[in-house]
Chains A and B, each alone.
Chain A
Amino acid sequence: DAGVIQSPRHEVTEMGQEVTLRCKPISGHDYLFWYRQTMMRGLELLIYFNNNVPIDDSGMPEDRFSAKMPNASFSTLKIQPSEPRDSAVYFCASRLGGRDNSPLHFGNGTRLTVT
């Protein structure tokens, strides 16, 4: 299996621009998670989906952030408009089932820099 695939690996954009991050989970996994990692705040859960339906978006920082999962093999995280404080590494992860002992599988992340 190719694992969780994220694109792009790096994104540099100017403040005010729209940014779209993409994720392809592992085939057959029914849970998908978006995380953000920064030095200051560590690893933060932004939102997660079960069977393409958003379950908990309480970690989404502002209305500028939105996430969709139109089908089982694709998800996007959009920031509009972007701000310098959004600079971080964004990870997508997927998981099979909701059992407490099933591990998360992470992608290699998208490093976002907003200037």
Chain B
Amino acid sequence: GDSVTQMEGPVTLSEEAFLTINCTYTATGYPSLFWYVQYPGEGLQLLLKATKADDKGSNKGFEATYRKETTSFHLEKGSVQVSDSAVYFCALGNTGTASKLTFGTGTRLQVTL
């Protein structure tokens, strides 16, 4: 079945550091890929998405490129801020699994001054 694997957290960075959170997936067909972010006390919200190979999703300085050859969708940001501290979830949506999104376990990011 479909699955998503994320790097273990927590990830602790200083402000303005470069961020990479790794995400790899296993799926049949051509899934869509998502990154969601969860701030403390809130629900998950969509950060960015990509629907086909080589697409790049971007939002709020975050980027992720859909790499079919490596089945990866790594999240990057060039310069993180304290306000980026949150939990980040990688997810995939596949027509083979009806309407369910498959989520990774989440990676907690802590950014310090």
Residues on A lying within 8 angstroms of B by beta carbon are 4, 31, 33, 42-43, 45, 48, 50, 55-56, 91, 93, 95, 98-109
Contact = CB atoms under 8 A, between A and B. Distances in A.
A4 to B, nearest CB: 7
B86 interface: no
Contacts, number: 57
Interface string B44-87: 11100101000000000000000000000000000000000000
Interface of A is mostly: strand
A101 B100 contact: no
Given A31-B99, A48-B100, A56-B98, A101 B43 contact: no
Interface string B84-113: 000001000111001111010110000000
A32 to B, nearest CB: 10
